[in-house]
């Protein structure tokens, strides 16, 4: 097929069978007409998947629902736990911590955002911390979990959650879903990508056993290699290491001796930060660091000396370049997953970027032709999403008061991109948070990190002053009491797993 073909797109070839490949195969095979479109996935057992990527954000719940996945079965089969947010330790300064919860803080009153009222009244007796107005936060801190109830007016409906899961088991789970919907899997290593000599469009991929697979649309899920999008199409990469200098990670798994908390833990270290992701059968751990500031062996020592349990795997060192492909969609090739770009996993956004890449592809699907208008729109939305996530991640670094290493001192001196500076200025003044064009992170996410990192506004929205003080305080305090009461009554996270979705 060429750029101008009138034939419908019939053959989709996905190269790569990691999380990206199987999420794409499962979604496309469920949503496209299998009678008219064939989907082939090629993967090589000789080339391992990245093997990390275990914490997610709330939109994945919907992705699984669209695929018709039963949540309890999925949680059992992937050794998953529930995630109500991320606890950040030592990020603002040493010996401090804060939670970035999923879910809303309070509710707007007479059109005034709840956090504005909290800013005005936070020093009054009985008002407490902002976390006390977020059910997800209170449940997380008490080790509780319950999925949101069906009544949209009940406080329980404000719980928002995601999962921690074993990435290899998730890919396996999706593989069986995709294969049952007619995705054909081919085992083999792609050794050559053949392009049309005129248009540069990819015509086929050739395997090391000499077989070839032709296609109309190719999806590059080959991970950091970017075998099609970069190896063949030479698309180019925007390198953002000057803004986010971490470029390596060491990952290791430990035995799980304790009940899993319903949140990820991210602890800032002298040279970067350490993650701890609790699963049912083990914990995922790792250190993200900057190789300009510390050697691999010193980084490994820091990680190993900060593990609480015995290890059950060998350390795996991964090199990466923060940034994104110049075009995620180039000619008849769409890069999804690590082949499209990577931003350090501080807010667990990579699997979401796979999900949103798939959604965009479905929304702009090329039925018979590859139209520049659709390709450009796909790339515009992808670029914007990467930029917005980059800014959100950078926010965690810039406001720190840590000055105990060159790493932190260097990071604090990085000039802010204008897009982030505008957000910081708006918030620092009157606590205003603007959410741009389809931005992934909502007001509550920005709020949690602004306040957690110690950025407090000079004052509050003047509309908060127009509300009657006594009545407003009464409403605020009764909401706090209701959330405290409900969070006490929820089952523990472990009880919920045992009751509904225990892995055998
Ligand atoms: P890979 O897993 O690398 O898969 C590539 C596939 O391509 C493999 O199947 C391989 O066999 C195949 N392949 C490659 N070359 C060929 C060839 N020549 N022929 C045939 N097949 C080939 N994301 C999150 O959302 N949350 C997290 O907490 C998180 N943590 C992370 C921590 C680190 C340190 C890193 C590096 C990433 C993390 N991620 C996280 C990202 C997440 O791991 C990836 O987004 C996800 O696993 C998708 O990877 P992938 O499928 O694109 O690539």
Q: Is the CB of 337 under 6 A from ligand 1?
A: yes
Instruction: Quote the radius of gyration of the chain (alpha carbons, Å).
Output: 24
Which strand (E) or helix (H) includes residue 184? Answer: strand 183-187
pLDDT of residue 108: 87
According to the model, what pLDDT value does residue 5 have?
A: 61
Distance CA 63, CA 316 (A): 29
At 119, list the tokens.
């800013």
Q: What is the 3-state secondary structure (H, E, C) of 134-145?
A: CHHHHHHHCCEC
Instruction: List the domain boundaries for the chain.
Output: 11-54+166-239+324-370
Given a contact cutoff of 8 angstroms between Cβ atoms, the answer to whether 7 and 1 are in contact is yes
Q: How far is CA 374 from CA 131, 359, 366, in A?
A: 42, 13, 8
Tokens of 406: 């060159």
**Please, which residues have CB within 8 angstroms of residue 20's CB and are 6 or more apart in sequence?**
221, 223, 336, 337, 338, 339, 354
Distance CA 27, CA 9 (A): 17
Is residue 371 within 8 A of residue 3, CB to CB? The reply is no
Of 224, 239, 237, 235, the closest CA to residue 329 belongs to 235
Segment 140-145 shows an average pLDDT of 98
Mean pLDDT (the chain, rounded): 95
Q: Report the DSSP pairing between strands 333-335 and 217-220.
A: parallel
- CA distances to 58, 101, 271, 310, 347 from 283, rounded to whole Å, are 20, 20, 22, 10, 17
- What average pLDDT does this structure show over 164-177? 95
Domain 11-54+166-239+324-370 -> CATH class: alpha beta
Specify the residue for token string 């670029």. Answer: 383
Q: DSSP label at 503?
A: -
HEC assignment per residue over 308-330? CCCECCCCEEEECCCEEECCCEE
Burial of 150 per CB tally in 10 Å (0-12, 13-18, 19+): exposed
Task: Name the band, by pLDDT with cuts 50, 70 and 90, for residue 3.
Answer: low
What is the CA(44)–ligand 1 centre distance, in A?
13
- Report the pLDDT averaged over residues 450-476: 96
Catalytic: which of 6, 77, 83, 430?
83
Stretch (H or E) spanning 283 = strand 282-289
Rounded to whole angstroms, the Cα distance separating 377 from 385 reads: 12
Strands (E), 295-398: 316-319, 323-325, 329-330, 333-335, 341-342
Whether 2 has a pLDDT exceeding 80, the answer reads no
Distance 411 CA to ligand 1 centre (A): 27
Reply yes or no on whether 83 is catalytic.
yes
Locate 486 and state its tokens: 């409900």
Tell me the CA–centroid distance for residue 439 and ligand 1, in Å. Answer: 24
pLDDT-based confidence at residue 181 (cuts at 50, 70, 90): very high
Ligand 1 near 56 CB (within 6 A): yes
Residue 399 is predicted with a pLDDT of 87
251 lines ligand 1 (CB under 6 A): yes
Count Cβ neighbours within 10 Å for each residue of 243-262 and write b for 16 or more, e otherwise.
bbbbbbbbbbbbebeeebbb
| Whether the complex's predicted ipTM surpasses the cut of 0.95 | yes
Residue from 11, 74, 83 nearest 41 by CA: 11
The per-residue pLDDT for range 426-436, each reduced to its tens digit, is: 999 999 998 88
Q: What is the pLDDT of residues 63-121, one digit of tens each?
A: 999 999 999 999 999 999 999 999 999 999 999 999 999 999 998 899 999 999 999 99
pLDDT in tens, 479-488: 999 999 999 9
Beta carbon of 52 within 6 Å of any ligand 1 atom: yes
Nearest to 245 by CA among 433, 121, 412: 412
Does 1 have pLDDT greater than 60? no
Percent of residues, the chain, with pLDDT higher than 70: 98
Question: What's the whole-number mean pLDDT along residues 457-465?
Answer: 96
């Amino acid at each position: 097929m060429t750029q101008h073909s009138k034939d419908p797109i019939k053959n989709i070839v996905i190269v790569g069978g990691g999380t990206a490949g199987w999420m794409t195969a499962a979604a496309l095979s469920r949503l496209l007409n299998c009678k008219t479109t064939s989907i082939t996935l090629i993967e090589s057992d000789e080339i391992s998947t990245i093997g990390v990527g275990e914490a997610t954000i709330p939109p994945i719940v919907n992705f699984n629902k669209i695929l018709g996945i039963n949540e309890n079965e999925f949680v059992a089969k992937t050794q998953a736990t529930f995630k109500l947010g991320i606890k950040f330790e030592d990020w603002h300064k040493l010996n401090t911590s804060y939670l970035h919860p999923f879910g809303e803080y309070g509710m707007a009153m007479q059109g005034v955002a709840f956090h504005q009222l909290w800013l005005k009244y936070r020093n009054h007796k009985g008002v407490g911390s902002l976390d006390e107005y977020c059910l997800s936060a209170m449940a997380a801190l008490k080790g509780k979990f319950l999925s949101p109830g069906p009544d949209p007016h009940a406080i329980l409906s404000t719980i928002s959650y995601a999962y921690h899961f074993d990435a290899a088991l998730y890919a396996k789970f999706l593989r069986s879903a995709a294969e049952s919907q007619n995705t054909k899997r081919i085992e083999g290593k792609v050794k050559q990508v053949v392009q049309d000599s005129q248009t540069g469009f990819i015509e086929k991929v050739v395997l090391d056993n000499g077989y070839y697979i032709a296609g109309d649309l190719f999806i590059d899920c080959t991970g950091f290699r970017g075998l099609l999008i970069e190896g063949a199409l030479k698309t180019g990469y925007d390198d953002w290491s000057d803004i986010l200098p971490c470029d390596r990670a060491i990952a290791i798994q430990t035995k799980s001796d304790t009940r899993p908390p319903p949140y990820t833990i991210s602890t800032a270290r002298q040279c970067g930060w350490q993650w701890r992701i609790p699963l049912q059968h083990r914990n995922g751990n790792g250190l993200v660091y900057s190789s300009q500031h510390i050697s691999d062996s010193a980084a490994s020592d820091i990680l190993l000396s900060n593990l609480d349990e015995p290890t059950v795997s060998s350390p795996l060192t991964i090199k990466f370049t923060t940034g994104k492909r110049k075009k995620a969609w180039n000619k008849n090739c769409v890069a999804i997953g690590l082949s499209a770009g990577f931003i350090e996993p501080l807010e667990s956004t990579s699997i979401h970027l796979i999900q949103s890449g798939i959604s965009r592809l479905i929304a702009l699907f090329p039925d018979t032709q590859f139209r520049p208008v659709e390709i450009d729109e796909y790339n515009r939305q992808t670029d914007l999403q990467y930029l917005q996530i980059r800014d959100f991640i950078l926010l965690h670094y810039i406001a720190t008061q840590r000055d105990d290493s060159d790493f932190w001192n260097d990071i604090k001196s990085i000039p802010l991109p204008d897009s982030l500076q505008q957000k910081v200025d708006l918030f620092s003044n009157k606590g205003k948070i603007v959410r741009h064009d389809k931005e992934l992170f909502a007001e509550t996410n920005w709020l949690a990190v602004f306040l957690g990192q110690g950025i407090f506004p000079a004052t509050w929205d003047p509309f908060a002053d127009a509300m009657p003080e006594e009545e407003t305080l009464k409403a605020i305090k009764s909401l706090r009491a209701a959330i405290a009461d409900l969070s006490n009554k929820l089952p523990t996270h472990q009880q919920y797993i045992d009751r509904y979705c225990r892995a055998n």
